[in-house]
Chains A and B, each alone.
Chain A
Amino acid sequence: MPDSLAEPMLPVPYRVLKVGRETADTFTLALAAAAGDQGFSFAPGQFNMLYVFGVGEVPISISGDPDRPETLVHTVRAVGAVSRAICGLQKGDTLGVRGPYGVPWPVEAAPGYDVLVIAGGLGLAPLRPAVYHLLARRPQYGNLELIYGARTPEDMVYRQELERWRGRFDFRVHVTVDSARGDWRGNVGVVPNFIARARFDPEQTMVLICGPGVMMRFTVQELLHRGLKRENIYLSMERNMKCGLGLCGHCQLGPFFVCKDGPVFRYDLLQDWFLAREV
C-alpha cells in the first residue's frame, strides 16, 4: 500500500551543492533534491532528519530561506558520529533527508508587532529562516531587533550575514560574546544583559528565542522583568530524537513530544516543564 503515509521513515536522497565552514567545528551545507525532485517548502523553525549512508540520522534545523525552498540549507556542528560525518561531506556527495517536521516560529502571526529575535550559539541556525522571512516582509512589522551571543568571536556563525544585517537601517543587531581576545571591537557580555538595550513595546512584541537552556532561562526572566507577556515569548527546544514523527518517545518533555508539539513552544504553555529539572 504505497500511499504517502505508508513509509514516513524513508529518506529521500539529496545532493550536496556546497559546504561552507562557519567555525572550527560547524559547517553549512547547501543541498538539492537528487533525482530532479522539486524538494519541499518549509516554515521557519522546522527541522529535517538528515541521514548519512550507513552511519545514522540526526535532527537538524533548516537554516535557509523559506522563500527559496529549492535549496535546502543546514548548519551542523560536529558533536557526534553522525554530525561529524555530515560535516565531512563534500560537494557532490549524497545524504538522505526526511522532513520537514515540527511546529514553526509564529512569524505568520507577527505582522503589527515589534519582533525581538534572540539567539545563542548555534541557536541562530533555526532562527535564520525567521529573520529571512521577517526581512522579506519588513514593512509589516514594528521594530525588528536581533540579539546574538556566542562564546567567542571565533564561535560565531553566519558572520558575514550578521555584518550585512547590521548595516541595514531597519534592523537593529546586537552581537555579543562571552569573552574575546583584545583585538575584538564588538560587545563582550551575556545575552540577557542586552535586553535592557532592545527597543520594543512590551504590549506589542513577539520574542523568538533559541539557545542553550541556561541562556534561555535568564533571557526569559529579563524579558518578563521588562513587561513582556508570557504568551508572546517563543522558545525552540532541543531533545534526543529518533523518528521525528511523534512515535519513538525519545523527545518527550513532560506532556509534549518536541518533534511534533515543538520544537517551537509558547512560553506560557511550556514554562512549568521548562523550569523543572530532568524532565
Chain B
Amino acid sequence: METLEPILAAHPFLQGLDPRHLQSIGECATKVTFEAGRLLFRGQDEATHFYLINQGQVALEIFTARRGPIMIQSLSDGDAAGWLWFPTPYHWHYDARAIFLTRALALNVKELMQRCEQDPLLGYELMKRYAHLLAVQFRVTILQLVDMYGA
C-alpha cells in the first residue's frame, strides 16, 4: 500500500511534524481529486473532513438567493480547509468548489480527533497549527469587513 506520509510531510500545515505523528495522521488520510467545477463539500453538510490542498484552486462560496454563489476566499497549493472539532460535529457553513483540477488529502476529522485525545502531544501540535490558521483567517475576515478599498 502506498504511504501518504511524504505527501503529508510536504504540506505546509504539517511541516516539521514528528514522523510518529505523521504516521498517525496518515492513517486518517485519503487522497482525493476534484475536477474543475466539482464541489468538495456543501454548506449544510456535516464537516467530516479536513482538506490539505496539494495542487489546484478551490473557491469558498456562500450561496445567495439572488446573486448566486459569492466567492469569499480562494485556496490553492499548500492551503488547508475545514474544521477540527471537539466533540460535537460541525457543519461546513459554506461551499467549496474546485476552480481547476484539484488534488488534496482528506483527513477524517472524527478519527483524527480521537487520535488527538489519545495522544495529547499530537493533539497539541495540531491545535497549535490550527489556531494559527484560524488567527490568519480571522485577520483576513477583519480586512474584508472594513472594506478597505472604500465604497
Do A and B interact directly, with beta carbons closer than 8 Å? yes
Contact partners of A246 in chain B: CB under 8 A: none
- Tell me if B147 and A180 are in contact (CB < 8 A): no
Residue of chain B at shortest CB distance from A149: B149
**Chain B interfacial positions (CB closer than 8 Å to A):** 57, 59-61, 67-74, 76, 99-100, 136, 139-140, 143-144, 146-150
Q: Please pick, from A179, A185, A214, the residue contacting B72 in the complex, using a CB distance under 8 A.
A: A179
In the bound assembly, the distance between CA atoms of A36 and B68 in angstroms comes to: 54
Chain A at the B interface: SS class:
mixed
A-B contact pairs, 21 of them (CB 8 A): A149-B149, A151-B149, A178-B147, A179-B71, A180-B70, A180-B71, A181-B68, A182-B68, A182-B69, A182-B71, A188-B71, A188-B72, A188-B73, A188-B74, A189-B140, A190-B143, A190-B144, A192-B143, A214-B143, A215-B143, A215-B148
Known: A178-B144, A179-B144. A187 touches B70 (CB 8 A): no
| Total cross-chain contacts (CB, 8 A) | 68
Is the beta-carbon distance between A155 and B149 smaller than 8 angstroms? yes
Interface size on A, residues (CB 8 A): 27
Q: How far is the CA of A150 from the CA of B147 in the complex (A)?
A: 10
- The interface residues of chain B lying within 8 Å CB-to-CB of A151 are 147, 149
**How far in angstroms is the closest Cβ of chain A from B64?**
10
Q: Is there contact, CB below 8 Å, between A187 and B68?
A: no
Q: Is A186 an interface residue (CB 8 A)?
A: yes
Which residues on B sit within 8 Å (CB–CB) of A176?
Answer: 74
Contact flags A185-201 to B (C-beta < 8 A → 1, else 0):
11111101100000000
Residues of B contacting A188 with CB < 8 Å? 59-60, 71-74
- Residues of chain A from 213 to 249 with CB closer than 8 A to chain B in the complex: 213-215, 218
Bound Cα distance A128, B150 (Å): 21
Q: Verify A121–B143 contact, CB threshold 8 A.
A: no
> Could you tell me if A193 and B136 are in contact, using CB atoms closer than 8 angstroms?
yes
- Say yes or no: A120-B148 contact (C-beta < 8 A), given A179-B72, A187-B74, A215-B143: yes
Of A189, A190, A192, the most chain B CB neighbours within 10 A belong to A189
Shortest C-beta distance, B102 to chain A (Å), equals: 13
- Kindly state the separation between the CA atoms of A168 and B68 in the bound complex, as whole angstroms: 34
Distance in angstroms from A26 CB to nearest chain B CB is 11
The CA-CA distance from A181 to B68 in the complex, in Å, is 7
Chain B CB within 8 A of A53 CB: no
A184, B140: Cα distance in complex, Å: 19
Closest to A184 in B: B71
Partner of A185, one of B67, B99, B136: B99
Interface centre among A179, A211, A215 (most CB of B within 10 A): A179
Within 8 Å CB of A149, what residues of B? 149
Contact between chains at B140 and A190 (CB < 8 Å): yes
| A193:B140 contact, CB within 8 angstroms | yes
Q: Is residue A106 within 8 Å, beta carbon to beta carbon, of the partner chain?
A: no
Q: A218 and B139 in contact (CB under 8 A), knowing A151-B147, A178-B147?
A: yes
Given contacts A188-B60, A211-B148, A215-B148, 16 further A-B contacts (CB under 8 A): A151-B147, A178-B143, A179-B71, A180-B70, A181-B70, A182-B59, A182-B68, A184-B59, A184-B71, A186-B74, A187-B74, A188-B59, A190-B143, A213-B148, A214-B148, A215-B143
A212 proximal to B (CB < 8 A): yes
Q: Once the chains bind, are B149 and A182 in contact (CB under 8 Å)? A: no
- The CA-CA distance from A180 to B139 in the complex, in Å, is 19
Instruction: Give the complex CA separation of A151 and B74 in angstroms.
Output: 14
Asked whether A179 lies within 8 Å of B143 as measured between CB atoms, the reply is no
Contacts of B147 in A (CB 8 A): 151, 178
Residue of A nearest to B100 (CB): A185
A187 neighbours in B (Cβ, 8 Å): 57, 74, 76
> Contacting B69 at CB < 8 Å: which of A181, A186, A218?
A181
Among residues of A, the one whose C-beta sits closest to the C-beta of B143 is A190
